[in-house]
């Protein structure tokens, strides 16, 4: 069974095998978690992303999928980039958000990662309500057995509380 831990803090400061990035499909940089990862991880991550785009991801990474690169100068072996869905009030995109967690774990597990740190995917610029984003994250990871430990790294108290409520 996968152990689930909650940390309040900055994802880019974690020491784990794999850090998951809430990327956008271009893989060529953005704000939020993505900007923080590239800032702290250095240019090697972006170079890897460019290589992936040039090789088999010409159109970018589809929503709900995941791909790994080097972690550059971060204290991890890999960054797993996944593209969360933009929240929609008229269309249920929960399956895509669950897929981000599942696919990130699959990719990390295939590489041999035992510990994986996640942000609250889609709950920033992509507008997913935090409570629901936390529910989908915790349910999906709890149903998975790919890695030994998943750490959700929550930036603020509200996010931390939303995840803690799901674990209670
Ligand atoms: P998305 O585009 O998938 O919504 P964002 O990067 O905008 O992704 O935000 C995802 C979540 O990560 C938000 O809840 C945001 O507050 C949080 N976040 C932003 N920077 C960090 C960080 N350095 N560490 C952990 N969480 C972060």
CATH of the domain at 64: 3.40.220.10
Task: Determine the distance separating the centroid of ligand 1 and the alpha carbon of 26, expressed in angstroms.
Answer: 17
So what's the pLDDT on residue 36?
98
Q: Cα(61)–Cα(73) distance, rounded to whole angstroms?
A: 23
Containing 139, the helix (H) or strand (E) segment is helix 130-142
Would you say the CB of residue 84 lies under 6 angstroms from ligand 1? yes
Does any ligand 1 atom lie closer than 6 A to the CB of residue 6? no
For the cut 90, the answer to whether the pLDDT of residue 132 exceeds it is: yes
* pLDDT above 70 coverage of the chain, percent: 100
The residue whose CA is least distant from atom 3 of ligand 1 is: 122
- Label residue 87 exposed, middle or buried (CB < 10 Å: 0-12, 13-18, 19+): middle
Closest approach atom of ligand 1 to CA 22: 3
Cβ of 18 below 6 Å from ligand 1:
no
How far is 163 from 6, CA to CA, in rounded Å? Answer: 8
Q: Which atom of ligand 1 is nearest to the CA of 34?
A: 6
For the packed helices 130-142 and 94-111, what is the interaxial angle rounded to 10 degrees? 40
Range of the domain at 114: 3-167
Domain count, the chain: 1
Position 29 confidence tier, pLDDT thresholds 50, 70, 90: confident
Q: Is the pLDDT of residue 101 over 90?
A: yes
Is there an atom of ligand 1 within 6 Å of 63 CB?
no
Catalytic residues: 34
Could you tell me if 83 and 103 are in contact, meaning their C-beta atoms sit under 8 angstroms apart? no
The pTM score is: 0.98
Strand 78-83 relative to strand 66-70: parallel, antiparallel, unpaired? antiparallel
């Amino acid at each position: 069974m996968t152990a689930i831990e909650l940390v309040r803090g900055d994802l880019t400061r974690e020491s784990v095998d794999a850090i998951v990035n809430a990327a956008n499909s271009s893989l060529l940089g953005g704000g939020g978690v993505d900007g923080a990862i590239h800032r702290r991880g250095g240019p090697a991550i972006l170079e890897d992303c460019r290589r992936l785009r040039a090789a088999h991801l010409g159109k970018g990474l589809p929503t709900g999928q995941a791909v790994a690169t080097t972690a550059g100068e971060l204290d991890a072996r890999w960054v797993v980039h996944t593209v969360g869905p933009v929240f929609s009030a008229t269309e249920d995109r929960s399956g895509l958000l669950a897929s981000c967690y599942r696919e990130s774990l699959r990719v990390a597990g295939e590489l041999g990662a035992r510990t994986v740190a996640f942000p609250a995917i889609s709950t920033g610029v992509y507008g997913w309500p935090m409570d629901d984003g936390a529910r989908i994250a915790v349910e999906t990871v709890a149903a998975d057995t790919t890695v030994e430990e998943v750490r959700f790294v929550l930036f603020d108290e509200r996010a931390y509380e939303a995840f803690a409520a799901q674990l209670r």
